């Protein structure tokens, strides 16, 4: 196995185990960069950190060696195994795409900060989110919707007429 990482994935349910002390320090510095340098929303920052802790847990073998500095050691093959494990779990393509985006953004930031010599995510291909067409009503559904709207208009007109008659 490349980089000495285990292909195990973290538990699917519950909290993701914390990363090593160094990885957590890197995550906190990255969170500050997202918040203040890039102006990302608190929800985006939280989602990215959760995704990156998931990656750290996967790369460190799902808690087998919580002291391992996963982000310093993770390589392209580790990232591909992480992506494959999430596909096997049946995660939505949009979730996979967001997690890959988090990993790419973070690993590139580590390189720019001089904390990693190379970016293993450069050759990682991400799934594109499903392009879904909007739901279209069937003719009968559209007819029923129009009929309900007309009923409500007529009911409102009756209420207005009664109110005017009482004045």
Q: Which residue has the higher pLDDT, 69 or 90?
A: 90
- The label of the residue with tokens 């000495």 reads 4
* Mean pLDDT score, 127-140: 73
The predicted structure's pLDDT at residue 68? 73
Each residue's pLDDT tens digit, 110-121 = 999 999 999 999
Q: Which residue has the higher pLDDT, 64 or 88?
A: 88
Percentage of the chain beyond pLDDT 70 is 81
Residues 6+ apart with CB under 8 A from 66: 17, 18, 19, 20, 60
Residues 6+ apart with CB under 8 A from 80: 124
pTM of the full predicted structure? 0.66
CB distance 116 to 107 below 8 Å: yes
* Mean pLDDT score, 96-100: 92
Distance CA 136, CA 140 (A): 12
């Amino acid at each position: 196995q490349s980089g000495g990482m285990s292909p195990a994935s973290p538990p699917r349910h519950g909290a993701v185990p914390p990363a090593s002390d160094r990885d957590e320090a890197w995550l906190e510095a990255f969170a500050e960069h997202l918040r203040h340098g890039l102006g990302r929303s608190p929800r985006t920052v939280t989602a990215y950190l959760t995704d990156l802790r998931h990656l750290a847990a996967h790369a460190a073998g799902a808690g087998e060696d919580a002291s391992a500095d996963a982000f310093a050691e993770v390589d392209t093959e580790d990232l591909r195994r992480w992506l494959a494990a999430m596909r096997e779990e049946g995660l939505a393509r949009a979730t996979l795409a967001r997690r890959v985006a988090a990993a790419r953004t973070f690993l590139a930031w580590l390189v720019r900060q001089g904390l990693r010599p190379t970016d293993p995510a450069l050759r990682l291909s991400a799934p594109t989110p499903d392009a879904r067409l909007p739901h279209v009503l069937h003719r009968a559904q559209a007819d029923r919707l129009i009929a309900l709207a007309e009923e409500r208009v007529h009911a409102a007109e009756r209420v207005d007429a009664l109110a005017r008659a009482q004045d």
